Every structure is written in structure tokens, then in C-alpha cells.
Structure 1
């Protein structure tokens, strides 16, 4: 298919490789450079740690396959918002968009922009006073990239994704072959750590894999979406799983399980073992690029949700307008970037992110659940269907339900406030319909 406009006015300009790299960029942020140390603290061996990363990756792959079918059924902008609206009604779609704007996308964007600022300061030897200007500057920069068409933004995003994969490759080579440690300790049991329970260890791993749904928000701009979406989601997820597992193997080879558990920044520690301070600065560059690429995708994907909500009358009508030349939802993009900057400047993003982090996976599970509705009510002819239906979607929903319940049990205050934020959208929805709908 060519770059022809869709019914909403978007241009289908994303090629299969562009789409696959969006999947990679939407998942790999700064977490893989930091999270494995936390997971090591909660496990008792390298084998257990690696099984968690492989298992969580396979679970996420199941979710990605489910979203591939959903995207093939509805190859339009909006992703989860569209699926929830059609399967469970406009209130469900609105609550997704409400939480996405208020907390999930904006909060995670501000949080990761802060990570970018920290590593950029380290890279260039800047004082802490530069943290806020760099945070705001990063958000303005990625927004500016996408005001002039997705094609330009996709080229920059491809560069970000390839550079972060290069950073991962350098880290793997250094950990496995140059750090001077033995490979025998990769699977060894660490007697100093007895573990803290499966769910406690699995939570940070699952959070590191979140973000695979972003591509579906851009489905209206993907060429030949029924063929491209399944291939891109599958290829992107396989690349992420390989990257995550190999990085953890490299950490264990270089630091051992005990050393990984004691490390606050394992990527920097491994690189410093090989190249000294230059290595630490080099990986700081990799993390900064990775963070910038993640912010780029969350803003672009979130803006498409707001634009479709505007079309439906569940957000300001002006937000539905696309730029007449570039076919980009610039008003939606500016609203999302403005709110993300406000969260970053006030510092409230961290609290909001803690309150509703589990909401992201909750939305994924509910999104996958819509597949059962589509199988019953939608007779569209599509090229791709989830293998192992209904077992695989049921497994995904059941596991994520356990994660959500475990989060609520272990952190009831933050989870409760997160639920309140979601529930607050209910009266807002009815007030909005009363004031702005005929």
C-alpha cells in the first residue's frame, strides 16, 4: 500500500521495519540498564533470574500476538481506546484515555525524560541545576520532531532504536567477553539471597516489558496493516526478549548474582570494569538515547488516542483536527507534551506514576479481553489470528490479573489512589457528555 490517506486523514507511511522498531523503542527505555539489580535482590540464583526474564518475555509476546489480531481487525488510530469503546462502550474507552492522559503516558514520559536529563548531565559533566532544563528540552525536542509528519519522526525513531540496540550489543560483548569474569557464575545459586517471592521478583520484570501496545495506536499510519502489524509486533518482541535476556546474561557473567544484587547501576558497573570512566560515560550516552527514544514514542502514540477521542466527541473537537499538510494531530500532541512538562516541572510525575503504574498492565489485560468480544461479534476477514485461541489470551489475562491483585495487596495505598484516579473519570465522562454532546 502507498502513503494514501485513511478515513481519518492519516497517511500510511510506516513500513514494516519502522513498525518493528517502534515496538522495540516503546519497550526498551532505561529500565534494562537499572532494573536487573532489583530483580537480583529478589531472587536466589542466576537461573531463576533468567527464567523470569524469559517467562515475562514470552507472556508479553502472547499479549503482542493478541494485539496483532486486534490491530488487524481495526487497523485505525487509537489502539486500546478503540477496542475498549467498541467492546465495552464509550465509558470504558474514555476511562482509558483519561488515565492515559492524566497519568500513564504523561507520567511515564516525564519520568523517563528525567532519566534522560540525569544521564545527559553525567555525560557532559553538568551540575544538577541542568536537570530541569534538560528534562523540558528533551520533551520539547521530541514533540518538535513529530509536528512535521510521522515520516520524519519515524526516521529519527529508527535512529534512536538502532542506537539503543547498539548500546545493548556493546554491553553484552563487554559483559560476556571483556569484563574478565567467568561464565560459570551465570546460573550459580547465591547463598546470600533467599528471594522474596515469585510475584515480588516478577513485577519489575513485567514493568520493563510494558509498552508493546504503542504500535497499535499508530495502526492508521502503517502500510498494509493486516500483514505488517503481526510481523512487526512479533519481530519487535523477539528482538526485545533477546536483548533483555542477553543483557542479563552479561550482567551475571561480569558481576555474578551477588554483584548484580549489590549494584545500583549494573550497566555502568560493567562498562567501567572494561573501559574505566570512559565506559561509564559511554553507557550514559546509550541510556540517554534510549530514554529519548521512549519519550518520542509515548508522545506520538498518546496523541493519536486523544485525536480519536476528539473525533468521538469525548475530548475537545479541535483536538481531532490533523495538520492540513503533515497529517499529524498537532493539537493533541501539544496538549500531551504540555501536561508531561507540567508533571516534570512540578515533580509530581513520580507520585502519579507510583499510584497507577499497574494501570498500564491492567489496560493491556482488558484490551486483550476485548478479543473475545470481537471473535463473537466481528466477522471481518483478516489474515492473522492468535494461535492457541482461547487458551493463550486467557493465560495472559489471568497472569496480569494476578499481577494487579498482587500490586494492590503489597502496595494498597498507591494502588488505591490509582483506582481513585481511574474512577474519577466516571463523573467527568457524564459531565462531559452533558455539556458537550447534543
Structure 2
């Protein structure tokens, strides 16, 4: 294994923060105001509720990164340290496959956003697939050039993607009409039911909060950088989400907002004129591109960590001259390419949607198990100071993660469980091989 990289070849505070923000803020958030319009302004409370729950998780990940500062793999490393090899393997297995499916969806969002400027992408499946493949493999190349190279791209795209959101959030404050915030609860159900529904929808915008913990071995001064980046990333994303949604809902009447397929673009037109529609569309494309870059960067780290523990094929532990675990990135990019192409193939669209549903639980399980492992790791390290606060935090984070999983629906839970169980035969074979080599 190559010697540890010098600090200049590692991710700093702002690149780590951009990894958190960039992975959380994807193209989907640009559609969120329209998706929640039917509920009324109670949707804003949904954002706040999700932010509070995500804070508990962010705090757990921050504290875990202090307890295990050099643990590459984030949720996998924490789960394995606290709950053992098998639980750690399930987290890594599910996470790796799930993010591959998610990256395919992000690629499709990117191509869709580009169709505003290049209409052929909406009418030609071949052109759309070719564009998607070029994007996937361009970012694959960038991220095999070194973690700092990928981090720089992430920082730039994160700044570019949040710019239109911030412009709408701030500029929209001068165009808000209070009447557009009524009714408060237009769902036709109780306040509790509406709040639960909106919080369930918005919670997906906070997936990726763990991003700074995954490449811990490539982060400078990780025991300080990762906690700061995680909490700072959450703060930035929350402010962008809440303020921009507030402005969009205040500018566009709920009845019109429900029918909008480009809510942020529609709001920007009111604020800045007709040309604003194009730079908001560009922002959506950049959001998808940046999110894809961030998740691609992480795709080599998880299998690298588990391969070093001999719970995954040894090939995934290989690094190139830049110190990048390239095998995991390459294998993932192949899967992303296949999954993305499925969406443009008639007859395979439903299978692609099934894969997304299958992967949903696998992204959320690491949060649940990391919260559970937090207390165990503290006890193992004999850290008894502040134990009451740690127990409270772990319970709140675990409860929120469990509630989040329940909110995904029974289909996601059922198929996600099948995906995780599908890794058991692979684990048994790897464990047997590991034990044979040890003897």
C-alpha cells in the first residue's frame, strides 16, 4: 500500500464541506416546492423537522469521526467497529450498490436538465445515452486523478449549484405575497399527518450528510475537519433549502405551484425576467453534475475500506499512483452506465425504477446502525464523560433514522431487505476465504 499522502494532497475543510453540501443538494431539490405545494405552507415546517432530525445524525457522525478519525469508509467503519464484521459488511454492500443506482438517477437528471439547451436529448434515446455515458466516464477519469482533483471539481460545482438557489431565496423576499402561504394545511388531513408526510419527503434531501466521513483517510486533520465539515455542510444546506422554498412558495400561488414542472425557474422569471429560466436550468444541470462527481469520489472509498479488512475482493484495495482506490470507482461506473442505459430502453424502465426502490433502504440503514454503534464504540474506548448526553443523542438519532426508514414505505423496506440479504452468500464465501488464509 502506498505511503500516506502528504497534507497538501488531502481534502481540507472547504472541499470536505462541499462534498457534504454537493452530495446533499442534487437536481431533485429544484422540484421539491412543487411536490409539496398541495400540503400548503406546513411544508416549511417539514423542512425544519427534517433538519432537526438530520442534526442528530450529523452530530453522531461528527462524534464518531473524533472517536475514529482515520476510519475510511465512514458508516461502514463505524458499524464494523461497534457491531462487528457482518453488520459492517451489510452496510458496505448495500451502500455501494445503492449509490450506483442513485448515480444512474442523477445522470438521468443531468441529461434531462441539459435538454433545455439541447432539445435533441429529450427526443433521441441514443443521444441521451451517449451524453450520459460521456458524463459518467469523464467524472470517473477526474476522480481517478486524485482525491484533490475530484475535491476541487466538487467545490466549484457546489458554489455554482447553490448560486441560483441563493439568488431566488434572497431576491424572492422582495416579491413575496403573504396570501400565497394560505392555507397552512391544505392536505385535508391532520396537522400531524401533513407534517409527517412533508418531513418524509424532505428527509431525502439530507441524504449524503455522512459524505465527509467516507474518505477519512484522504482528509487532512480528520478529527477536526470532518466534524466541522459535516455540521457546516448541514447548516449551509438547511439554510438554502428553507429560504429558497420560502421564497418560491411566497411568490407562486399554491394552485399554480402544484402544476409547475420548473418551480425555481418560474420564480426566477418573476424576480429577474424571462432570461432567468435558462440560468436556473443551468443550475439544475450543474447540481446534478456536482452531485454525481461527489458520489463518484466516494464510490472507491467504501469498497477500499472493506477490502482492506479482507471482507471484499482484494482487487478493490488496489490504488493507482495518485493513491486513488480506482477499482471500486471503475466497477461502480460500469454499473452506473448499465443502470442509466436501462432507463432509456423501453421495457427496462420499470426494472430501473425497481432498482431505485431496491436501493432506498440500503442508503438509510447505515444511519441507523451508525447511531447504534456510537454508544458501543464510546464504551469500548472507556469514554464515560458526558455519557448521559451521548445516550440521549444516540436515542434521538436512532429514532429519527428508524422513523425515516418507516417513511420510505413497505415496498422499499421489503425490497431493500432483499438486497441486503443478497449479500449474505458473498459474505459467507469471503469470511471462509479469510479464515482459510489465516490458518
- Alignment TM-score, normalising by the size of structure 1: 0.89
1:123 alignment partner, SS class: coil
Aligned to 2:206: 209
Q: 2:76 aligns with which of 72, 81, 103?
A: 81
Give yes or no for contact 2:112–2:121 (8 Å, CA) kept in 1. no
Q: After superposition, what is the alpha-carbon deviation per residue over 1:88-132, rounded to whole angstroms, capped at 9, x for unaligned?
A: 111111111211222x21011110110000001212333422321
Structure 1: which 5+ runs fail to align? none
Q: For residues 297 and 303 of structure 1, what CA distance do their matches in structure 2 show?
A: 11
Q: Aligned pair in 2 of structure 1 residues 319, 191: CA closer, same or farther (>3 Å)?
A: closer
1:368 maps onto 2:390 in alignment: no
1:433 deviates by 2.6
Q: For residues 33 and 110 of structure 2, what CA distance do their matches in structure 1 show?
A: 19
Q: For residues 10 and 135 of structure 1, what CA distance do their matches in structure 2 show?
A: 34
Q: For residues 19 and 114 of structure 2, what CA distance do their matches in structure 1 show?
A: 23
Larger displacement relative to structure 2 (266-275 or 339-348): 266-275
Give yes or no for contact 2:24–2:208 (8 Å, CA) kept in 1. yes
1:434 maps onto 2:429 in alignment: no
Q: Aligned pair in 2 of structure 1 residues 165, 245: CA closer, same or farther (>3 Å)?
A: same
Q: For residues 191 and 54 of structure 1, what CA distance do their matches in structure 2 show?
A: 16
Task: List aligned pairs for 1:25-424, cutoff 5 A.
Answer: 25-41=22-38, 43=39, 45-46=40-41, 48-75=42-69, 76-102=71-97, 104-128=98-122, 129=124, 130-177=127-174, 180-182=175-177, 184-185=178-179, 187-189=181-183, 193-195=187-189, 197-275=194-272, 277-323=274-320, 325-347=321-343, 348-379=351-382, 388-407=389-408, 411-424=409-422
Give yes or no for contact 1:304–1:332 (8 Å, CA) kept in 2. yes
Q: After superposition, what is the alpha-carbon deviation per residue over 1:234-273, rounded to whole angstroms, capped at 9, x for unaligned?
A: 1111111100011111111211333333323211221233
1:198 deviates by 3.2
Q: For residues 397 and 108 of structure 2, what CA distance do their matches in structure 1 show?
A: 31
Q: After superposition, what is the alpha-carbon deviation per residue over 1:140-171, rounded to whole angstroms, capped at 9, x for unaligned?
A: 11111111111111111110111112121122
Q: How many residue pairs align between the two structures?
A: 421
1:390 alignment partner, SS class: helix
Give yes or no for contact 1:87–1:374 (8 Å, CA) kept in 2. yes
Q: For residues 133 and 275 of structure 1, what CA distance do their matches in structure 2 show?
A: 34
Q: For residues 187 and 274 of structure 1, what CA distance do their matches in structure 2 show?
A: 18
1:388 alignment partner, SS class: helix
After superposition, the CA RMSD in angstroms is: 2.5
